[in-house]
Amino acid sequence: MDIDDPLVYLNGEFTPLSQARVPVLDRGFIFGDGVYDVVPLYGRRMFRPAQHLARLARSLRETGIPNPHDEATWLELIGRVSAALPASDQLVYIQVTRGVARRGHAFPAHVTPTVFIMANPLVPPSREMREQGVACVSIEDQRWLRCDIKATSLLGNVLAAQHAASHGVTEAVQFRDGWLTEGSSTNIWVVADGVLMTPPRDNLILEGIRYGLLEELCGAIGITFQSRRIAREDVTGADELLMSSASKEVLAITTLDGQRIGNGVPGPIYHALFDAYQQAKRAP
Ligand SMILES: Cc1ncc(COP(=O)(O)O)c(C=O)c1O
């Protein structure tokens, strides 16, 4: 198999990525009318698949797109796509759009969802990023008010990510009216006085699968966890600042807008959570 042209799944067929095609009237293309999820695999084993599939099911429910598969079928399809990739650590991308129909905003009748699944190697942050932490910039959150849905219409997130890229930094940390929301594709965590805090599970953020996981890991290793609104001053004045996502895992943010966070190096809570995460992801 050509590793630059892996097998993907599209609407019932397994085909090389370069040959996968969707019609231009697919509502994913026309309206960004679709949802997605990204499941990590370590040593070819899915990490927290039930949680990812539950989140996908919720995104589908919230957008009124019928869930095309039961959990067993999703697991089988993900397994088959990932089996075609040589890398043993992977990110599997699953997308479901409302389907193909004549253009018109409201839901069309009798439309079949488009299902696409592809796998890519999971490349975790480099040793340098882990040891030194990373720089981030802040940006006003310009997204819609249903950030809890993992929708493919990601223009606000794309613009935030590009803001970070154009500043040569890893991530953009978003604030809405002075309150922390999240990164362009990460959840953000603040440490003060040994307590790990993150914004509440509400419509203003996507609840990462690592949200619940870090909460669990905190319980297991004795770190106090709080889910609460966090003001900008509490972010800039934090002892530590972290981000999490399937691809970044847990990563320390050591500067924000060029200002040092805490001592400017990854701190003890980061190290404890990083170690716990590494154990959890390889646990049998
Ligand atoms: C906007 C947003 N927030 C948070 C996350 C983190 O979610 P997870 O931990 O499931 O990767 C992501 C992941 O891509 C995201 O896009």
What would the pLDDT profile of 189-208 be if each residue is shown by its tens digit? 999 999 999 999 999 999 99
Q: What ranges in 44-189 are assigned the alpha helix state H?
A: 49-63, 71-83, 127-132, 155-166
Domain check: are 110 and 155 in the same one?
no
Category of 145 on φ-ψ map: left (φ > 0), alpha (ψ -120 to 50) or beta? alpha
Q: What is the pLDDT of residue 1?
A: 63
Are the CB atoms for 100 and 33 separated by under 8 Å? no
Q: Is residue 49 part of a domain?
A: yes
Residue 213 pLDDT class (50, 70, 90 cuts): very high
Category of 215 on φ-ψ map: left (φ > 0), alpha (ψ -120 to 50) or beta? alpha
Computed over every residue of the chain, the mean pLDDT equals: 97
Q: What are phi and psi of 135, to 5 degrees?
A: -90, 145
Domain check: are 60 and 164 in the same one?
no
Q: Token pair 């882990």 is at which residue?
A: 130
Domain check: are 176 and 255 in the same one?
yes
Q: Could you tell me if the CB of 210 is within 6 A of ligand 1?
A: yes
Number of domains comprising the chain: 2
Domain check: are 159 and 274 in the same one?
yes
Q: Is residue 2 part of a domain?
A: no
- The residues annotated with a catalytic role in the active site are 150
Domain check: are 101 and 149 in the same one?
no
Residue 130 pLDDT class (50, 70, 90 cuts): very high
* Closest residue by CA, ligand 1 atom 4: 186
Domain check: are 133 and 268 in the same one?
yes
Residue 254 pLDDT class (50, 70, 90 cuts): very high
Out of 144, 187, 210, 211, give the residue to mutate to test ligand 1, the one with the largest number of ligand atoms within 8 Å of its CB: 187
Q: What is the pLDDT of residue 138?
A: 98
The CATH code of the domain that includes 106 is 3.30.470.10
Of 121, 139, 163, which residue constitutes the final position of a domain?
121
Q: Could you tell me if the CB of 90 is within 6 A of ligand 1?
A: no
Of 63, 90, 121, which residue constitutes the final position of a domain?
121
Of 64, 94, 121, which residue constitutes the final position of a domain?
121
The CATH code of the domain that includes 273 is 3.20.10.10
Residue 10 pLDDT class (50, 70, 90 cuts): very high
Domain check: are 131 and 114 in the same one?
no
Smallest CA-to-CA distance from 198 within 142, 239, 241 is with 241
Domain check: are 276 and 165 in the same one?
yes
Work out which ligand 1 atom sits closest to the CA atom of 246. Answer: 11
Domain check: are 159 and 245 in the same one?
yes
Q: Is residue 203 part of a domain?
A: yes
pTM of this structure: 0.97
Q: Could you tell me if the CB of 95 is within 6 A of ligand 1?
A: no
Domain check: are 244 and 117 in the same one?
no
Residue 96 pLDDT class (50, 70, 90 cuts): very high
Domain check: are 277 and 176 in the same one?
yes
Q: Is residue 1 part of a domain?
A: no
Its domain, for residue 188, covers 127-282
